[in-house]
Amino acid sequence: MKILVTLAWRNLWRSKRRTMITIASVFFAVALAINAQSFQQGSYELMIDNMVRFSTGYLQIQDVLYEEEPSMDNSLLVSDSLLISVRPFLKRIAYTVPRIQSFALASTEAATRGAMVTGIDPETENRFNSLPEQVVEGRYLAASDHAVLVAEGLAGLLKTRVGDTLVLIGQGYQGSMAAGKYPVKGIVRLRIPELNNNAVYMPLSAAQDFYGAENRLTSLIVMPADPGDADRLTEDLSAAVDSNWYVVRSWKYLLQDLLSLMEFDTASNMVIIYILYIVIAFGIFGTILSMMIERNAEFAMLISLGMKRRRLAMVCLLESLFISFTGAIAGAVLALPVVAWYHHHPIPLKGDLAEMILQYGFEPVLPFSADPKIFLTQALIVFVMAVIIGFYPVYKIFRMKTVERSNR
């Protein structure tokens, strides 16, 4: 075996340029594929993170009927039975974010607009989505306040400022009238334009009073101690709560439209990556083919001398393995600093593209994912592809006729 390895290794370096070109082909394939995948997955991770942190949370407990008809009548009661069923999982839960929300009309002296009035626990909301950091005017809410935060866009539409009074009118629990006057304590600038144009926040207890829904929530967001545990925690909580009244939804369920969109996008990006693979595969095949043509006579001579075809095939396969392995490892290693840099320093977007992404409610940046699976998968795919191409010389060796070749 040693002589086969020696032969393979030295053969690689008899045509340094060809070997380097082949290694470079594998290297670029791996590096490009890793960067492309990392870029795509990074964008998705950011999207999901944004949505989970600012919108749905990792999982939510809702009333069973809420999804079908999201109204105050289908809000959930924070009952003793619910608390008892959740208690065994407290160690796996970092914190919960209670919310009660419905639409109402918001009026000032100047204008009236539809608004999404959300009752929040100011402390946990801060932990959940750093809402106080979004306050651009006035101050953040305290749990005991009887006041509201108005999103900057809506404040503009209503021509209201901190210290003004906002009148809210809507429908409360079981058809009751929800109405109240609330001083504007602060203005918040929300990243998602749709929210920025209709959000009104008030402390949870004030909102429950407003909607006449004491001790009720429209959703209880649960943040797991380990985000990776979200799926299992969803399953466990689903099994624990009274399914006649409560349902536990994971972020994957709540964001299924977004995930479907991502899957479609992934599929179209994969087509581009497959094209890249094909181009690279032909590059590698070209160099392997030129190597075969150059060494046909030598292979025939070796068989004539008494070298078994399988041993000769092994030499060629070892050469392919060396090239593929070196290229794949080099590609993965050299992609690492690029990916790491853009993972920590996402590419900021500007102009129309940034505006468009903002419209979707996402940060206008392009981060890279540093998921080790991407490195492993892409390096492995290109490596396997190169090894498969490396079987071409093996095939040719087993079909080679020695007479025409060895007499040269």
Of residues 235 and 294, the one with the C-beta less far from other proteins: 294
**Residue 129: is it exposed, middle or buried by C-beta count within 10 angstroms (0-12/13-18/19+)?**
buried
In angstroms, give the least distance from the CB of 265 to other proteins. Answer: 49
The reply to whether 308 sits near other proteins by the rule CB under 8 A is yes
Q: Which of 188, 346, 378, 407 binds other proteins (CB under 8 A)?
A: 407
- Rounded to whole angstroms, the Cα distance separating 244 from 246 reads 6
In angstroms, give the least distance from the CB of 284 to other proteins. Answer: 21
Segment contacting other proteins by CB under 8 A, of 50-58, 276-284, 325-333, 399-407:
399-407
Segment contacting other proteins by CB under 8 A, of 62-70, 81-89, 274-282, 303-311:
303-311
Of residues 260 and 407, the one with the C-beta less far from other proteins: 407
The reply to whether 320 sits near other proteins by the rule CB under 8 A is no
Residue reference for tokens 């977007």: 349
Six-digit token pair at 221? 């967001």
Over its C-alpha atoms, the chain yields an Rg (Å, rounded) of 31
Segment contacting other proteins by CB under 8 A, of 65-73, 112-120, 306-314, 345-353:
306-314
DSSP-assigned states of every residue in 14-53: TTHHHHHHHHHHHHHHHHHHHHHHHHHHHHHHHHHHHHII
The reply to whether 304 sits near other proteins by the rule CB under 8 A is yes
Of residues 228 and 306, the one with the C-beta less far from other proteins: 306
- Rounded to whole angstroms, the Cα distance separating 299 from 312 reads 7
Of residues 198 and 406, the one with the C-beta less far from other proteins: 406
Interior angle at CA 183, CA 180 and CA 184, nearest 5: 120
Q: Which of 65, 307, 321, 370 binds other proteins (CB under 8 A)?
A: 307
- Rounded to whole angstroms, the Cα distance separating 336 from 375 reads 8
In angstroms, give the least distance from the CB of 231 to other proteins. Answer: 55
Q: Which of 5, 14, 90, 355 binds other proteins (CB under 8 A)?
A: 14
| Residues linked to residue 201 through DSSP beta bridges, in sequence order | 118, 149
Residue reference for tokens 């008892």: 84
Contact 77, 261 (CB under 8 A): no
Contact 101, 56 (CB under 8 A): no
Of residues 14 and 232, the one with the C-beta less far from other proteins: 14
In angstroms, give the least distance from the CB of 36 to other proteins. Answer: 38
- Rounded to whole angstroms, the Cα distance separating 121 from 78 reads 14
- Rounded to whole angstroms, the Cα distance separating 233 from 229 reads 6
How many residues bind other proteins (CB under 8 A)? The answer is 24
Q: How many of the other CB atoms lie within 10 Å of CB of 28?
A: 19
In angstroms, give the least distance from the CB of 295 to other proteins. Answer: 9
Segment contacting other proteins by CB under 8 A, of 26-34, 226-234, 295-303, 343-351:
295-303
The reply to whether 91 sits near other proteins by the rule CB under 8 A is no
Of residues 206 and 318, the one with the C-beta less far from other proteins: 318
The reply to whether 290 sits near other proteins by the rule CB under 8 A is no
Q: Which of 79, 290, 296, 402 binds other proteins (CB under 8 A)?
A: 402
> What is the enclosing helix (H) or strand (E) of 344?
helix 309-344
- Rounded to whole angstroms, the Cα distance separating 313 from 19 reads 18
Q: Residue type at 9? A: W
Segment contacting other proteins by CB under 8 A, of 29-37, 68-76, 298-306, 352-360:
298-306
The reply to whether 326 sits near other proteins by the rule CB under 8 A is no
DSSP-assigned states of every residue in 81-115: HHHHHHGGGGGGEEEEEEEEEEEEEEE-SS-EEEE
Backbone φ, ψ for residue 246 (5° rounding): -120, 150
| Residue list 330-359, contact with other proteins (CB under 8 A) | none
In angstroms, give the least distance from the CB of 293 to other proteins. Answer: 16
Q: Which of 105, 270, 301, 365 binds other proteins (CB under 8 A)?
A: 301
Residues that bind other proteins (CB under 8 A): 3, 6-7, 10-11, 13-14, 297-298, 301-309, 311, 402-403, 406-408
